[in-house]
Structure 1
Amino acid sequence: MKYPYYIAGMTGAMLIASSGAAAAGDAIHGQALYKTMCMACHSIDYNGVGPAHKGVFDRKAGSVADYSYSPAVKASGIVWSEKMLEQWLTNPEKLIPGQKMGYMVPSAQDRADLIAYLQQAAPAAK
């Protein structure tokens, strides 16, 4: 009699676990998104319209050499982390009023994928 409850419990646990995995970032998809959504302005290795992303994690916002940041970004005091990048990609103007990036990523999964890609391609500076 307890066996059906065990099966139901295990099925529920697997569904919960798999739903968490779906929310995790997919770096391969993130790379494709980066190429289509970000590369018009950004590069991992060099400044363009936007600053280079190399070493973005644990870097203070507004600190890439030879890039002209808005005064708002320079004064923000933000250090880039997964959480901060999630907020930034959701709505840059809400996070840092007066910044100059005019692009948002509306999909939570796309943001997670982009962040996963950046963690691989542009890890924290050592």
Structure 2
Amino acid sequence: MSRFALLALSLALLPAAAHADGDAALGRTLFSRCAACHAVTAQNKVGPGLAGVFGRKAASVDGFRYSKALSATDIVWDDATLERFLAGPAKMVPGTSMAVSVPKPDDRTNLIAYLKTLGAPATP
């Protein structure tokens, strides 16, 4: 296969690959709705700070008062658990205090891609 054909094929498949993993830039824009309750730092607001959320055990941010329901789970935030929780927090964890869902699958995928970029909180 020629280099040009290989390049053309790679470029043609790029949007599909980007979509499968989500678009962090679009997720950042979507996060503006979440920012009313959540910070992208370790700062807690109405909801817990989301720095380092990906790979973290649910209800584990120091200083935040979680619902008993979420505290009683063994959830670790990854693609699958964030997808389910954002689609319907109360459906996944009845009794959670998280009341807002993200109904569109593409929005959830993009938001999760953005959350993955939020590294661990800076240490003082």
TM-score range, shorter chain: 0.7 to 0.9
1:102 to 99, 102, 107: 99
How far did 1:100 drift?
A: 0.6
Q: Give the structure with higher Rg (CA).
A: 1
CA deviations 1:48-85 (Å, max 9, x no partner) are: 00001011112111110000100000001111111100
Provide the aligned C-alpha RMSD in A. 2.2
How far did 1:28 drift?
A: 0.4
5+ residue gaps in structure 2?
A: 1-8
Instruction: Please list, as runs of the form range in 1=range in 2, the aligned pairs for 1:13-24 lying within 5 A after superposition.
Output: 19=16, 21-24=18-21
Structure 1 distance, partners of 2:93, 2:109, is 20
Q: What is the match of residue 77 of structure 2? A: 80
Tell me whether 1:31 sits opposite 2:28 in the alignment: yes
| Percent of aligned positions that are identical | 44
Structure 2 distance, partners of 1:82, 1:64, is 19
Structure 2 distance, partners of 1:40, 1:68, is 17
- Give the TM-score taking structure 2 as reference length: 0.80
CA, structure 1 residues 22+57, in 2 after alignment: closer, same or farther (shift >3 Å)? closer
Amino acid at match of 2:24: A
5+ residue gaps in structure 1?
A: 1-10
